[in-house]
Amino acid sequence: MRRRMFGFTVVLALGMSSIAQGAEPFKLSTFEHDGEESLGVVLRDRYVIDLQAANTSLERHQRLWVTLPMPKDMKELIGRYELGMRDRIHAIVELIAPTIDTGQLPAYVHDLGDVDVLAPVRPAVVLSAALNYREHMREMTTGLAAEMSDSSAVDAAPKSMDHFWERAPDDVRQNPYLFNKPASVVIGDGDPILMKPGREQIDWECEFAIVIGKPASHVPLNQARSHIFGYTMMNDVGDREGRGDNRYGSDWLVWKGSDTFAPLGPFIVPAEFVPDPHALDIKFTLSEAVMQDANTELMQHSVDELVHFVSNNIILRPGDVIATGTPGGVGYARTPPVFMQPGDVARCSVEGIGTLTNPVEAWLDVMPR
């Protein structure tokens, strides 16, 4: 595994709709260059600005700029975004973007291909929504795949949770169902998904993910969006072979909690650049073969509902991640089943967010013995 330090990248992309006044949109990510991590900004999905270096240089040359210390990590950046960081990042982008067209790039701007893009944030909490797309719910509760899910529970009439989850009379959806993934299993773009010895049914689940922006506890549904900082992607990797018995229901540690089972990133797109999170194409390819191809409009519970639901159970904090579930097309539900193998390349893409790429490797080929 690659050596890790702490720092950040801020990445700009031209493919998304801009906010008011024609501001150029940007994405946030963590990168490493020459052995050190830094906050930065990538313009047009090609150039990475070292945010610390850019800010230091521009504070010297922009007489009206007040001194603004840069965050030490992504969580701090997210927590301070509304306290001056948003305006400073936009100001840096406004000054640096024109240099791309002239070819006179400052020394603190790097080609994206020359840096190592890491997981964009190290969340304290990683949650994933189960069966949040109807097609995935159907494929996992019929045929051979039904062994992994309780189809009778899916068919049961849903009930309100009177203390925080009220259902409309015509709401036929199941209640939200979320599970924890250990935050320690998060890896970044380019890191390998590792298959441990004897575990051969490793599956993919490409998921659009929420990044929390400010503390959220018992958040009303109509206020949930204000607690979302931005969006990213997670491959909710799972071991379909499970634990070998059905004690206590689902064993999420074995199924979903193994090392490297949470590729995250490569970028975080601030919510201001995502007008409608429920209208984004989502696609997964395994060694160039398309396995999932859908749209976030198909999710049953919205990003607002998921934040509302989770915040009534735990306090969410800046940098926490909620993956919104996967569409249909997982390997276990195919006939015959298809699983990831060493040598495969897994790619999860969401429109306007980016592409998360991870090779699949055998554990003993990478880890010391």
| CATH code of 175's domain | 3.90.850.10
DSSP letter for 222, please.
G
| CATH code of 82's domain | 2.30.30
DSSP letter for 310, please.
H
β strands within 119-185, DSSP E: 126-129, 178-181
Contacts of 191 (CB under 8 A, 6+ apart): 1, 2, 119, 260, 263, 358
Tell whether 179 and 328 lie within a shared domain: yes
pLDDT for 254? 87
CA distance 26 to 90: 9
CA distance 365 to 361: 7
Number of domains in the chain: 2
Which ranges constitute the DSSP H helices of the chain? 51-61, 74-80, 85-102, 134-140, 151-155, 252-256, 303-311, 363-366
Using only C-alpha atoms, the chain has a radius of gyration, in whole angstroms, of 21
- Reading the chain (369 residues) residue by residue, the pLDDT tens digits are 343 333 334 443 333 333 444 688 899 988 999 999 987 888 888 998 999 999 999 999 888 899 999 999 999 999 999 999 999 999 999 999 998 888 889 999 999 999 999 999 999 999 999 999 999 999 987 754 455 554 445 556 678 887 788 888 888 888 999 999 999 999 999 999 999 998 999 999 999 999 999 999 999 999 999 999 999 999 999 999 877 777 766 788 988 999 999 999 999 999 999 999 999 999 999 999 999 999 999 999 999 999 999 999 999 999 999 999 999 999 999 999 999 999 999 999 999 999 999 999 998 866 654
pLDDT for 368? 53
36: domain range?
A: 9-118
Q: Is residue 4 part of a domain?
A: no
For residue 336, CA distances in Å to 6, 106, 140, 203, 299 come to: 43, 53, 14, 13, 26
Tell whether 217 and 319 lie within a shared domain: yes
Tell whether 113 and 130 lie within a shared domain: no
Among residues 118, 136, 163, the one where a domain terminates is 118
Contacts of 61 (CB under 8 A, 6+ apart): none
Question: What pTM value is reported for the model?
Answer: 0.89
